[in-house]
Structure 1
Amino acid sequence: MKIAFITPYYNPPVRGNAVTVRRIAGNLAAAGCETAVYSLDALTAGDILREVLPTSPDVIHGFHAFHGGRPAREIAAAAGVAYVVTITGSDVYEAMLDGRRGETLAVLRDAAAIVVFDSSVKQRIAGHHPSLAEKIQIIPQGVELPGEDFTWGPERFDGGEFVFFLPAGLRPVKNIDSALAPLAELHRNDPRIRLLVAGPVLDPAYGAQLLEELERYPFARYLGAVGRGAIGALYRRADVVLNTSVFEGGMANSVLEAMAFGRPVLAADIEGNRSLVKEGKTGLLFRHEAEFLEKAEKLLRDGALRRRLGDEGSRLVREQFSVEREAAAYRDLYCRVLSR
């Protein structure tokens, strides 16, 4: 079975879409599928069309209904094959609500199947567009442990510091700056507090604004875009992993990875995070700044709570979010699409 993946982003490899596509394509190849990835950050849609057609794929698979889905639709029509679309977040939370709505819905209507990571996203789409419900399939994300080869540099955190780690690309939806004020208050009472932020600058204006703001908070440090082969050391060193996003596309890779490493998670109380973080069991959720501060302080003071949340989160991802299960679900979906 030959699958052509079309993704809006493949580099840097730490970006969410890139992590997801690399993982799925790699594990499908290990499961016996022939996979090829075409990225719109390296090729135009026309280039991809010219490269894909001679390979005669069985299924085209686009990621992000607007960005990857439109060329997937065009190429599938030219090749005379079906296409599948995976919803990744900003397509359902932004593109289906703004000027891209018409094209996004056309992609979803013509797709042989629509994949979402969690039932909350299925309900959101089907609630507004009931005709799409029967073709929506829920396939949770799998998780692979990143590498751990990381050089800390001059600040080695060997003096008893308490580290909050926020892995996210620098763009408005990640809402990174919302963590600064509550952690500053916590730092005033406990100077051990540190905040590490790691991720590529994806929105230059927001990135510049955030980096300027970080200058006013000496306990916070931006590490830049830390590669997949290095970020595991940051998860291991973190005392708490943060997610401050305005929305997530069903479930965040960073939250899955934090749980896989047994780290306690403090996350924004949004649909995508609630799919993984069960309050008081696999993590803690916050709705506003005061609640963030309250729960961050609780995690700071209660080592037993941190260990329990980390253990429960680790158990959850081991039992329900394996990459093998994810790859098998996609392979089965392709087989169903081809049998129609």
Structure 2
Amino acid sequence: MRLLFLAVLRPHTGNAVTAERVRVHLEAAGHVCILKDAFDFESPSEIANLITAEKCEAALGLHLYRAGRLLQGHRVPFGIIFGGTDLNEDVNQGEKNKVMGKVLEEARFAVAFTETMRETAHVQWPHAKGKIYVQSQGITTTPNAAFNWNTFLQRAEINQSADTLHVFLLICGLRQVKDPLYLVDAFSEWHQEEPSVYMVIVGPEVDPVFTREVKAKVQRAAGVRQMGEMAQEDLHAAMKSCFAVVNSSVSEGMSAAILEAMHLEVPVLARNIPGNAAVVKHEVTGLLFADPQEFVQLGKRLISDPALEKEIVANGKEYVRMHHSWRVERDTYQRLLRKLEGSLEG
């Protein structure tokens, strides 16, 4: 089957990584998957032309609003995958909410990453009950064996012995929803008390105006560094070498960085928001903080309590193994695609 897959494809973002992983799943089942960036199109008519030109028989969209609105009204059956923005932000905007409801009416199936996301969708669009499936993101990691941690530290202008450091890695694109500045002041104060702790913000410069704000703030903050995006294999290697991975987002669908850290046996400290709390159980698979001061308290505790670190690392690894299997994710998407094939046969 020739399948149009429409997603938001900013390089090295969670959406792009998820889309590429799902594409590989579908092509492994023998489908031809034509992956396109939703931001390259403005109207359903452009998608109609693409469907005709590429001879697509079905479609899949990642993001109910951003991709789904472009897939309506065509002759091909389609499925949809919820993005975090759909249920954390767009659902609160009347017109977008209405559009997403209509997309769900037409979609043959929809996929939510968590049970909480599915329940939220059921409340908003009761007519969609029965067609929303839960499939957590499958996780694999591929650290670059040639990666050099000391070189990374030099690039980050951290001139201390790696043996004495505790580096907290905040992985995010520089945009406001990721809130990379949330912990900067509190962390800087901590660094002045304990010079061995550093926070390094790593990720693409998504919002140019906000990026300037982040860089200006970081330049004035002791113990905080900011670096650009990294290839995924290098990022995984950096995660494996750091002391802990941090998430300070205002909202999340499901953070791949958190799950990758768990898979790599690295402690996670995450802001206590619904998307993070759905995958991080406090003091079991990671640590959840409500404010910057609690983050510092938990960071100090993690450094001083190796037994706690060992426990949450082991639990996190097991959680990912049990609930975020790459193989189960592949089976789910291949099975759902058969629903679209069935529509064609019907």
Tell me the TM-score normalised to structure 2 length: 0.90
Deviations 1:193-246 (A, max 9, x none): 011111111122222111111011131111111122321121011111101111
Unaligned regions of 5+ residues in structure 2, if any? none
Unmatched runs of 5 consecutive residues or more in structure 1: none
Is contact 2:187-2:224 (8 Å) kept?
Answer: no
Residue pairs, 1:81-120, within 5 angstroms: 81-98=76-93, 99-120=95-116
Letter in 1 for 2:110: I
| Kept after mapping to 1: 8 A contact 2:108/2:340 | yes
Alignment of 1:45-194 (within 5 A): 48-74=47-73, 77=74, 80-98=75-93, 99-148=95-144, 149-150=146-147, 151-152=151-152, 153-154=154-155, 155=157, 158-194=162-198
CA contact (8 A) 1:3 1:61 kept: yes
1:18 maps to amino acid:
A
Q: Per the alignment, in what secondary structure is the counterpart of residue 285 of structure 1?
A: strand
Q: Against the structure 1 CA distance between its residues 302 and 31, is the aligned structure 2 distance closer, same or farther, given a 3 Å change threshold?
A: farther
1:305 aligns with 2:308: yes
AA aligned opposite 1:82: P
| CA deviation vs aligned residue, 1:236-262 (integer Å, no higher than 9, x gap) | 11111101111111x111111111111
Q: Does 1:317 align with 2:320?
A: yes
Match of 2:203 in 1: 199
Q: 1:31 to 1:334 in 2, by over 3 A?
A: closer
Pick one of 287, 292, 296 that aligns with 2:299: 296
Q: 1:27–1:324: 8 Å Cα contact kept in structure 2?
A: no
* Alignment CA distance shift 1:270-1:145 (3 Å): same
Q: Give the letter aligned to residue 119 of structure 2.
A: Q
Q: Which runs of 4+ in 1 moved over 6 A?
A: none
Deviation at 1:97, TM superposition (A): 1.2
Residue identity opposite 2:256 in structure 1: N
Q: Which residue of 2 aligns with 1:259?
A: 262
Q: Cα RMSD over matched residues?
A: 2.0
Write the distance in 2 (CA, Å) between the matches of 1:300 and 1:211: 28
Aligned: 1:280 with 2:283: yes
Q: TM-score, normalised by structure 1?
A: 0.91
Q: Is 2:101–2:125's contact at 8 Å kept on the other side of the alignment?
A: no
Aligned residues of 2:57 and 2:76 also touching (Cα < 8 A): yes
Q: Number of paired residues?
A: 333
Give yes or no for contact 2:61–2:79 (8 Å, CA) kept in 1: yes
Query: Aligned match of 1:271 in 271, 274, 296?
Result: 274
Residue of structure 2 in register with 1:32 after alignment = 30
Return the alpha-carbon distance in structure 2 between the equivalents of residues 114 and 339 of structure 1: 16
How many angstroms does 1:185 deviate by? 2.9
